[in-house]
Amino acid sequence: MFEEFKKFAMRGNVIDLAVGVVVGAAFSGIVTSLVADVIMPPIGFAMGGIDFSNFFLVLKGGEYPTLAAAKAAGAVTINYGAFLNTMINFLVVAAALFMLIRVINNLQAPPPDASAPAVTPEDVLLLREIRDGLKN
C-alpha cells in the first residue's frame, strides 16, 4: 500500500496540483491584502469614509457601534460587510486568473489554419495511384 501511495504521490499531476495549491494560497493572501488595503479604502473614502468590513446586522443582543464590540458581547450578527469584501476578493481573483489564462492562450502556438488544404501523405498518394491503375 505504501509503494502504491508513493507511486501515486510522485506522479506529475499530483505534484503540479500541490504546487498550484501552495501558490494559490499565497496568491489569496496577496489578493486579500490588495482588496482590504488598496481597493476598499478609496471606495470607502469616496462613499464618505465608510468601512465596509464594519457593516453588520445584529440579530440578537442589542445595538453595537462596531462589529468588534458586537462580537465581544457575544451578539449574533450577519456580517454583510465582510461578505462584500469576500465577493470583491473573488472578483479580483477571477479577473486575475482570466487575464493569466488569456496571456497563456496567446503564448501558445495558433491552431493550424482550417481553410488550408491538408497535405496528403506520399504513401496515401501511391496507394491511390495503385488503386486507380487496378481499376483501369
CATH of the domain at 100: 1.10.1200.120
pTM of the model: 0.54
Q: How far is CA 131 from the centre of its chain?
A: 55
Long-range CB contact pairs, 18-24, < 8 A, 24+: none
Q: Are 82 and 71 in contact (CB under 8 A)?
A: no
**What is the tally of structural domains in the chain?**
1
More confident residue, 12 or 74: 74
pLDDT in tens, 81-131: 889 888 887 888 788 778 878 888 888 877 666 666 778 889 988 999 999
Q: How far apart are CA 38 and CA 26, in angstroms?
A: 17
**How many other CB atoms are found less than 10 A from the CB of residue 119?**
6
pLDDT at 132: 93
Asked, for residue 127, whether it belongs to a domain, the answer is no
Percent residues over pLDDT 90 in the chain: 13
pLDDT band at 12 (very low <50, low <70, confident <90, very high): low
Domain that holds residue 38: 2-111
Phi, psi at 128, each rounded to 5°: -65, -40
Q: What tens digit of pLDDT does each residue of 29-74 get?
A: 887 788 778 887 887 788 787 777 788 999 987 888 888 898 899 8
